[in-house]
Amino acid sequence: MEVKARAPGKIILSGEHAVVHGSTAVAASINLYTYVTLRFPTPADNDDTLKLQLKDLHLEFSWPIGKIKAALSQLDLPNSSTPTSCSIEAMKSIAALVEEQNIPEAKIFLASGVSAFLWLYTSIQGFKPATVIVTSELPLGSGLGSSAALSVALAAVLLAFSDLVNIDFNHQGWLMYADEELELLNKWAFEGEKIIHGRPSGIDNTVSTYGNMIQFRSGNLIRMKSNLPLKMLITNTKVGRNTKALVAGVSERALRHPDAMNFVFNAVDSISKELSAIIQSPIGDDLSVTQKEEKIEELMEMNQGLLQSMGCYQERLLT
């Protein structure tokens, strides 16, 4: 028995990093996906292990279910209907399980993602043997939400094998979660994101869960309806980034310069709100499509300048 889920990546048009500090952000999903397949063994397989296969990276991790149970069964694992943060004690036990896998030094950045996998799997499915296969069209560390897409697709496939959701709406050959069940999925995905990034805003997993375009602030979601035929070009610079380190850097700068950074965050908030208003403006209003595009271009340039003020930039991309 197996099931496959997919979740899209994202782009943030304005508000990246500032959204962690309460600013409004505007984001959209993109048609690049991460796919997660969950396969349970049959009794004839006589397999009592949990396997995680990262096909694109040619890596496989496996743990005897007995070892996972010994490490985590003494802890209070959450009920699958109640998304819960990974405790310090659980994180220590999970880190030990991940460490024994001897992840290659060049790919040690994957450790947090593997930890998120173990937390989500055991929290939702418990101690069952299975094989989980991950493939992705999203480049890692590129700002396109690869970790959030993993968390969402993983939570989706795990919840699909629970009694908590009904999946009966067909869209382009894929079964869909009902709107009222997306909140549970999104909350579990956010718990995975917290393990990977430390202090995420929640915007990445939210846009990956709900799709389309959203306005997001402090956990509150507004699903946007675009009236503008807007086309965006996404360029992979091949310059990697560490989201967790960048988020921490902005927080440290905000502690050192609270007043100045508050002005920056407020400016970002205003940019996002104006951008949202333009994108959703009625067809046939006083501004032409070209004028709207010019305004959006200016707003995104201003947002980029504010990202530099927060310390979120790559020197190689400024020259």
Alpha-carbon torsion (59, 63, 69, 70), positive or negative: negative
From 12, 49, 20, 7, select the one nearest 310 (Cα to Cα): 20
The b/e string for 61-95 (b: 16+ C-beta within 10 A; e otherwise) is bebebeebeebbeeeebbebeebbebeeebeebbe
Active-site choice (204, 269, 285, 286): 204
Active site residue 204: yes
Q: How far apart are CA 6 and CA 152, in angstroms?
A: 8
Nearest to 120 by CA among 109, 100, 134: 134
Distance CA 244, CA 251 (A): 11
Q: Give the Cβ contact number of residue 281 at 10 Å.
A: 16
- Name which of 11, 10, 26, 30 is nearest 274 in CA terms: 26
Q: Report which of 255, 239, 306 is spatially closest to residue 12, judged by C-alpha positions.
A: 306
Integer CA distances (angstroms), 228 to 12, 157, 283, 284, in order: 17, 34, 8, 11
With 0-12 CB in 10 A as exposed, 13-18 as middle and 19+ as buried, what is 313?
middle
Distances (CA, A) of 240 to 29, 158, 237, 317: 20, 30, 8, 11
Alpha-carbon distance 136 to 36, whole Å? 9
| Cα–Cα distance list, 1 to 5, 42, 115, 212 (Å) | 14, 8, 25, 31
Which residues carry out catalysis? 204
